[in-house]
Amino acid sequence: MTRRGRRLSRMGTACLLAATLAFAVGGCTRGSTSKRPPIHPNPNMDDQPKIEPFDASPWFPDGSAMRPPVPGTVARGELFADPVLHTGAAADGTWAAVIPIAVDDAVMARGEERFGIYCQPCHGAKGNGKGPSAVRGGIPAANLVGDPRLLALEPGQIYHAMDAGIGLMPAFARIPTEDRWAIVAYVEELQGR
């Protein structure tokens, strides 16, 4: 081996040693825990001087970075102008006595599917209040198909239960209006109406 060759090979070995040492000391900490912040060799634009959702901000009087919409703001598709459709009751407070959307087989199937997702855990697949969380979790849910008072609920009242929640039952704001009415149609079918 020439002298140059020997020098190159020594350098190679030194590099290998240095790399092994670096991994032994710094890297390969997989699975172990550390209280120090992670090493971030290439930060890109990951950390920026900006406010994130739920951050505090001394800039606004209420101390919150997230701003409420300007009063009266209506987001697209959220103009809830029809009280019967969106609350289950007319402006004078009378409950909707009929479902304000056209109910066909597709809507009924949708209602059955959504009921299975959102209501069945408590009320049971048959609506009798014996869902898994009632049976195993001990959360009593109303018997929608056996309690005479609930059998007599107007469609608007069933809608309202989803809209506002009642007792231990949460409000289901995340179910879109049409789906809620589809669920009402399915509940009425379960009730044999």
The footprint of ligand HEC (CB under 6 A) covers 118-119, 121-123, 133, 139-142, 144, 150, 153, 157-158, 161-162, 166-169, 172, 183, 187
Least distance in angstroms from the C-beta of 166 to ligand HEC: 5
Token pair for residue 138?
């001990």
Least distance in angstroms from the C-beta of 75 to ligand HEC: 23
Least distance in angstroms from the C-beta of 78 to ligand HEC: 20
Sign, CA dihedral 136-142-147-152, equals negative
Q: How far apart are CA 154 and CA 144, in angstroms?
A: 12
Q: How far apart are CA 175 and CA 149, in angstroms?
A: 25
Least distance in angstroms from the C-beta of 60 to ligand HEC: 35
Greatest pairwise CA separation for the chain in angstroms: 101
Least distance in angstroms from the C-beta of 157 to ligand HEC: 5
Given the complex with ligand HEC, which of 12 and 137 has the nearer CB atom?
137
Least distance in angstroms from the C-beta of 82 to ligand HEC: 20
Sign, CA dihedral 124-130-131-134, equals positive
Token pair for residue 22?
């670096």
Q: How far apart are CA 145 and CA 133, in angstroms?
A: 18
Q: How far apart are CA 114 and CA 186, in angstroms?
A: 9
Position with the least CB separation from ligand HEC: 167
Given the complex with ligand HEC, which of 84 and 155 has the nearer CB atom?
155
Given the complex with ligand HEC, which of 55 and 147 has the nearer CB atom?
147
Given the complex with ligand HEC, which of 65 and 90 has the nearer CB atom?
90
User: Distance between terminal CA atoms of the chain?
Assistant: 97
HSE of 164, CA atoms in CB hemisphere, 13 A: 11
Given the complex with ligand HEC, which of 140 and 176 has the nearer CB atom?
140
Given the complex with ligand HEC, which of 64 and 143 has the nearer CB atom?
143
